[in-house]
Structure 1
Amino acid sequence: MATKWTSGDSSTVLCLDVNNEGVVASGAEKGALTVWNNQGAAIGHLNLGGDEDVTCVSFSRTSDSILYASHSETVSVLDIRALKEPTEYFHVNEDEINCLSVNETGSHLAAADDSGSIKVIDLASKKVSRSLRRHSNICSCVTFRPQRPQSLLSCGLDMQVMLWNLQKTRPVWTVNLQDIVQEEMEKMQQQASCQLFNPPLAHFTTVANCGNIFACGAEDGKIRLFRVMGTRFELEYGFRGHSLGVSQVHFLNSLSHPYWLISGGNDAKVMLWDVSEQIITDGKGPLKSAAKKPVGCTTKKGHGAARRDHSAKACKGNKSNHILPKLSIDHGEKVNWISAVDIKGCKNILVADQSCQISLYPLTEL
């Protein structure tokens, strides 16, 4: 049974983030922003003005009191110790911002928008240091990699997943999920069990604390695990977690369970997965399984050109089977955002849906 957090505001909650102290921030429709303690009490509320929805909130990784909130094309910088007017604004994106990410050194903020562009802001100079333009459709998510503050991942409704380095303005590696699906469909046809699914529009990515393993949730209901190796990444494993699009995936990144993953979907399901069995480790970090074949091919166009995977054979040799969730919750509402918070040493899943409340599910029995 879920515990409901209610602030008294009637706006639908769209996004969540949690700082290192367990303080939760939520953004909602019509500019509503709320800060909560980990007991579910609203300890601060602010309206960012107008009818602009707060589409993403992200705490600084170096200062627990600093919060970044996106609304329309603007990023507001807030101090939750005195939640009043923003201390400053960044208005550098060309279209509505969908996702924010701050690297772990607190030096850069990335903002992905509907134009497919990612603006990377140098937080010391308060200027755009990189404008990353390769997505041909909405860029739905951008994520800095742990332990690698110059590296980030992005995905979008063009079905592309991209790896970037802040030293370059082009992706160093790209995978098209449609190529992976095509390979999967060919195998299914060979097995006389063809079934049509939604296109794999890429909604969200999350990176494990090791920095080399990441997951991507897509519109076809699948969660795919990838491994980064230098300047490229390969598909490790794919499994169907939801009957409709997977809107959210997040690694819990706890010390005891570094590869536990939570997901939320348009099928109103929230699930917890242990994907450690799909990731071979030696105690020093993830290793490539010798039994698996390399994924995809690379092409070069000119000296120093970005390497990309355009092959329909992108997932050949990789497993794509069904694994069972450790926990499946019939939440009852389409999921907007999920996150996790520690309360008295216990992990809890936070869920924002189509309502004005936040739902909390304890993982006490796991």
Structure 2
Amino acid sequence: MITFTKTFLNGAVAAAAMMAGTLQMASADVLTMSSWVPPTHFIHTDFLVPLTEKIAEATEGRVTVTILPAPLASPPQHWELARTGVADITWGNFTYEPERFVSMWFAEFPNAGTKAEAQSRALWQTYEQFLADNSAFDGVKMLAVGMFGGGQLHHGAKAVTSPADIANQKFRMGGPIQEKLLTALGSVPVAAPATKAYEMLESGVVDGSLHTMESVVNFRLEDVLKHHTVFPNGLYDATFFVAMNGARWDGLSDADKTAIEGVIGEGLSAAWGKNFDDQSVAAVEKLTASGHEVVEASPELIAEVDRIYGAMVADWIEAAKGAGVSDPQAMLDFYKETYNSLAGE
């Protein structure tokens, strides 16, 4: 009788434990993430996967994130996927929707910096202070913002260091700010995604292409881009987001929201930037070791870019006011001062 009772009680305890575990799993929040880079890309392996792990750890498994095996839409549609709740979490490029995110243009202009971690932290602080209540960002919970550490100029056949070198040359580019910059420099911009760069260069459709140093390596363009012109403060940049559907965020428990707040924001933005910094350093080392020509832009070319930059800022200030930014110049100044301070640490 005693043996039977012990057996029964042990079994009941085990069953109760199993039921409690099942109920906990059933009540857990499982979030879906749509990503558009392959699982071998460093953004996936070194940034997105660690983010899912941090969220699970911070919430003690109550909130988990599943990265879907294929993107739910094209890269430019990923903001809408999060805003409308088709996916719970997405990441993407503000550049893909330039009219919606006029307020972000300032960070994609020349001279935005070349240290991605400092840039990304400065952009997060700028977003929080100046843009968190802007209607362009309605419908989402912003988890992080990021930049990539300064895009540069790359050519397949020659070093480009002066304004004369760039005139009439055809360059692949990826957005309206890059298009305006190249046109003002007297070159011919050709719009195409970075994934098309190799075939365009190999076939002679373009002479060069705009990229970060890391993307020359990560897009395997070393054979067709052997000359790299570096602008000390960056020729252009791109701005990125990691966003969660606002209603889905609001539906989490207060305890889980507090826990997740500890692994997002400026810290997550810094992690984004650090990954790009690490990749860029490795890329420069690899390209240099392979005999590629890496040169600085001449003072004349830098001065010409600075002149164009001044005109771009003046135009943007008016556009940003129309997009609901009360003092665009103050926002730009805040970003620059914050970046310079963080970059000097």
- Give the TM-score taking structure 2 as reference length: 0.28
> Greater relative contact order: 1 or 2 (C-alpha under 8 angstroms, separation 6 or more)?
2
More strand by proportion, 1 or 2?
Answer: 1
Query: Highest Rg: 1 or 2?
Result: 2
More helix by proportion, 1 or 2?
Answer: 2
- Give the TM-score taking structure 1 as reference length: 0.27
